[in-house]
Structure 1
C-alpha cells in the first residue's frame, strides 16, 4: 500500500520521552503486521551527534551500517553516529536503523550550501523556504523510497517554539498539504504537570503548546499527555475542548515501571484503532504480536531479586549518557529474573578521595566501567579496574573502560607503573593504548573514528566464547584508540588473555584476566545490539557471573 506518515512533535519541555512515544506508535503498527520505519529530525547544526558531549546531549548511538553522505557532487562524509532515540527505535522494533534516517539541520544546510557552491541553484536566491524545507521533504521521501514501509514515523526533535525547529515544522506543514488526504497524521506529545500544592493536573501548558503549533499552520490529530499519573476523563475532555481535537484523540502517557509497557498502555486506550482509522489501514492488532510483547513486558515486571552494579564514569550527571548500557543491563536482568540497580559513580570523586574506592565498590555486586573520552576522571576509572582485579569482583569494561582495564593490568600486574593511553599522556614511556594507525592521518574529528559493525573473531575456551557460543560475531565499534598489540605478549605472560581480535589477528577486540573472577573488557559496544527478550550475550554473561558471585558470598 502507499506509505502512510505519522509526524510526532513535542511541547512544553524537552526530555518528555517523545522518542519512546514514537517508538511505541511504531510497535503498535508492527503488532498489526505492518512494515514500519522511523526518522528522527534533529534541529541542531551539527552534521551528526558524533562530536557532541554526552553530558549536553546524551548518548551517541552507532548504527550497524556506515552511510556515505554526499550532500553535493564531489563532497562525501561518513555517518554512522546518530541520535540516541534510534537506540529506542531499534530496541522497540527489533530492527537495524539506517544512518540516513537521522536528518539534522547540519546535514540539510550543508547540502543546500554545497549545492549552491557547485552551481545547482544558478540564478536563484537561496532561502529557508523553499530550499531548506524542500531538502527536508526530499530526505523524508528518500527514506520512504529506500525502505518502502507501510508506515513511516517522523519524530521532530526539540520543542515546538524552538527557533531551530521551525524549518522542520514548516516542512511538515507543506508535506501534509502535498500528500493525498488520509495518508498523514500529526501526534503531539505534551507535558501535563501535577501540582501537589493544588492536587491537580494542569492543562494550560498543553493549551499554549498546541496554540504555538497551530500558529505554524499545524493542527494535531492526536494529543498524548505525559504525566506522572494517568489522565482522568475530565482532564482529557478539557484538553479536547481547548485544543480542538475529539475527546477520543487524547491519550495518557503516565509513568510506568518499564518503558516497554507503553505500547500496550496506548493500545488499550485505543490509539492504534484511532490512528488506523485516520490513515485507512488495518484496524486490529494481530493476537500473536500482542502476546509476544506482553510476554517481554512481563519478564521485566516479574523480576524480584536485585543486583547492584557500580558504574564509574565521566558523564554520570546525566543518565541518558548511558541509556543503551542501562537498557542492556535491564534486558539481561529480565532474562535472568533479576532487577538491576545501577549506582553511578563520578570517577573524579575517586581522584579527590582515593580511599572511597573500596567503600563504594565493595557494596556493589559487580562493576561496569563505562565508555568515554578525555583525561577527566581517568585515574578514578583505572582505580576501579584495579579494585575489580584485586578483589575478584565481576567486571565488564566497555570500549574506553576496556582500554583502562588494560592500563591497570599493565601498571599493577605487569609492573609498568608509567603505562598509559597516549590519548591521556602523549609522552608516556609505555603507550599501552595508542591511536589506531589510520587515525594518525585523520584531519576531521567528525565521522572519522572506527565506526559501525565489524567482525569479531573469538577465541575458543574464553569467557567471550562461552557468552556468544560462536567463533565469529559482528559488533558495533566507535573508537580512535586501541590496545597496543606491541604490549600484548608481555601482558599474556602475566595472565592476560586476548579473547577476540579482528580477522587479521592484529587488532585486539577484547581481553580477559586468567583467574577465577569474571573480568572482561570489550573494545566494541555490545549494548547497541541488545534487545528486550534478546539480550546482549556478553551483558547476560556478566550478570550471570554477578549472580553466581553473589550467591557464593552469602
Structure 2
C-alpha cells in the first residue's frame, strides 16, 4: 500500500511548500523509493490557464496538456518525473466533476454536499497513484485558516482516519519571523498556525520552519513543547543559495530518516551523495555569462520560473554562472539594456503589450550577431521581424495583435478560429516535430524527430515560409509537414526560435539542448569580445 505525506502551510503564502515537498520527495528517491507528487489549489478556476501571471506566476504545462501551477515544474525538476493531469487539482475542477455527476443523476437523488461528495472526490484524486508508487506527496495550496482550503484539509483528515496514522502523515511549513527591533526570532506565528491545523483535526508530524536566522536548540524545544512535535522533527529551513541545496539541508537534519520511520518504510538503497556534490560544485563556477530575458513581466520573475531554471541548468553544465538580466520590452530602452548581453532570450506570452520592444530586440540580436533563442511568442515575433525588415512587408503582423493586417504572417488555424471557451482549448502538451537534416536544430538535438510541450493558439502562417526562407530565415522543424515548429537563421552564429516550450523539459543534471546551445554560444561570444 502507498504511504501519503500531506504538505500544508501556515502564517503566510509563498513559504516554499512546493520546494519543501519536492526536497522530501528527492530524499525519498535517493533512498530508492518510488515517489510522485500531487498539487491541490483551492481556487475556483478550473486551472490557471486563463489567469494572469500577475495572479499566479508561470503556467506550467504537463506532457498531456494540463495547464498547472508552477510548483509542478519544481516537482519535475527535482524528481525527474513527468507530471500529468493526475498531478494537478483545483477546487474548480473538483466542483465541476461533482456537479457533472449530479447532472447525470449519479448520486441517485441525494443532496450533494461538501461532505461527503466534494471530500470523496478530493480523496479519489489524493489516491491517484496509490498502486504505482511507494509514497504520494500531496501539497495543499494556500494557508491553513483560509476558507477555500477547508475541504482539502477535511479530506486529508479523513484520509488519515481511513488509512491509519502509519500510512498518512502531515508536514507543516510555517514561518519563524525575525523581529529586527527586538533582535529575536518569534515562535508565536508557528504556534498559532499549528493550532489552526489542529482545529480541523490534523496533527502535524513534522514542522519545516522558514527562518532568516538559525534556530537555536532552545527555540526548537520551545516549538516542540507548544506544538507537540518531537524536537528533532522541528526542521530549520533558512534561505539557501540555490533551491537545489534544500534536499541536502533536510538530509543533514535526518528528515528522510524520520519520515521513513514514521511511515514504516524500508529504504531500498543507501543515499548516494552525488546529487549534493553536483550542486555544491555548481556554486563555484569558473566562468560567467550574461543572458537578457526580454518580456513584459520583467518585474515578476515567477512568470519566467522555468526559463530561469533552464538557463541555470545549462550554466551548471558549462561550468558557468548565468547572470539573468530581465528586460521590460514595454518600458525599457531595449538597445541600451542589450549592449552588454552575451545572449538574448524572448519567452512566451500573450497579447500585444511589449511586442514592438520584442521585435526591436530580435532585430538587435540579428544585426549584432548576438546568440538568440525565441520561445513561442518569441518565434512569432521573429517571423514578424523578418517579414517587416527583410521582406518589405511593413504591415506584417499576427492577427492576435492586428486582426485586419494585410500580411498575417502569424494566424489562427481554422480549428482555433471556431473556439469559444478560452480554457484548455489551445494547442497544449506534447507534439512531435521532424527536424531537417543539416539544420542547427538537428545538430543540437542529435535526432531527426523530437517531442516538445506546447501552449499557444497562433501559428506561423505556412503561406509565408518561402518568402522568409529567401531572407535566410528557414523552417527547420515541422509538425506532420504542415505546421512550422522551428525557425533558424543561416547567417548567424546562433539564432533559433521555436513554437514550443523547451524550458519545461529541462532538468538540473540534464539541461535542454536549446538552452545548452545558447549558453555555449554566449560563452563563445564573450571569449571572442
Return the offset for 1:231: 2.1
3-state DSSP of counterpart to 1:359: helix
3-state DSSP of counterpart to 1:220: coil
Q: Which residue of 1 aligns with 2:97?
A: 111
Q: Is the 8 A contact 1:132 1:167 kept in 2?
A: yes
**Pick aligned residue for 1:514 from 478, 483, 490:** 490
**Pick aligned residue for 1:88 from 65, 68, 74:** 74
3-state DSSP of counterpart to 2:129: helix
3-state DSSP of counterpart to 1:197: coil
Deviations 1:467-497 (A, max 9, x none): 1111111111111001111011000111112
Q: Which residue of 2 aligns with 1:326?
A: 308
Q: Which residue of 2 aligns with 1:73?
A: none
Cα distance in 1 between the residues matched to 2:430 and 2:251: 34
Q: Structure 1 508/284 Cα, relative in aligned 2: closer, same or farther at 3 Å? A: closer
Q: Structure 1 285/240 Cα, relative in aligned 2: closer, same or farther at 3 Å? A: farther
Pair 1:3 & 2:25 matched: no
Return the offset for 1:283: 5.2
RMSD of aligned residue pairs (Cα, Å):
1.3
Cα distance in 1 between the residues matched to 2:492 and 2:125: 53
Q: Which residue of 2 aligns with 1:102?
A: 88
Q: Is the 8 A contact 1:28 1:285 kept in 2?
A: no
Q: Which residue of 1 aligns with 2:43?
A: 44
3-state DSSP of counterpart to 1:383: helix
Return the offset for 1:295: 3.5
3-state DSSP of counterpart to 1:5: strand
Return the offset for 1:443: 1.7
Q: Which structure 1 residue ranges, 5 or more long, are not aligned?
A: 67-79, 351-355
Return the offset for 1:312: 1.3
TM-score for the superposition, normalised by structure 1: 0.93
Return the offset for 1:46: 1.1
Return the offset for 1:299: 4.2
Pair 1:423 & 2:409 matched: no
Return the offset for 1:285: 5.6
Deviations 1:482-520 (A, max 9, x none): 111101100011111211111x32211011112133111
- For 1:121-520, what aligned pairs fall within 5 Å after superposition? 121-145=107-131, 148-282=132-266, 286-287=270-271, 290-350=272-332, 356-502=333-479, 504-520=480-496
Return the offset for 1:152: 0.6
Cα distance in 2 between the residues matched to 1:105 and 1:98: 17
Cα distance in 2 between the residues matched to 1:266 and 1:468: 36
Deviations 1:334-388 (A, max 9, x none): 00001111111222114xxxxx222111122111111100011111111111111
Q: Which residue of 2 aligns with 1:22?
A: 21
Cα distance in 2 between the residues matched to 1:325 and 1:229: 30
Deviations 1:173-219 (A, max 9, x none): 11111113311110000111122222222111111111111111111
Task: Please identify, of 134-143 and 89-98, the stretch whose mean Cα deviation from structure 2 is larger.
Answer: 134-143
Return the offset for 1:142: 3.1
Q: Which structure 2 residue ranges, 5 or more long, are not aligned?
A: none
Deviations 1:419-471 (A, max 9, x none): 11100100111101111232112221111111111111111222212211111
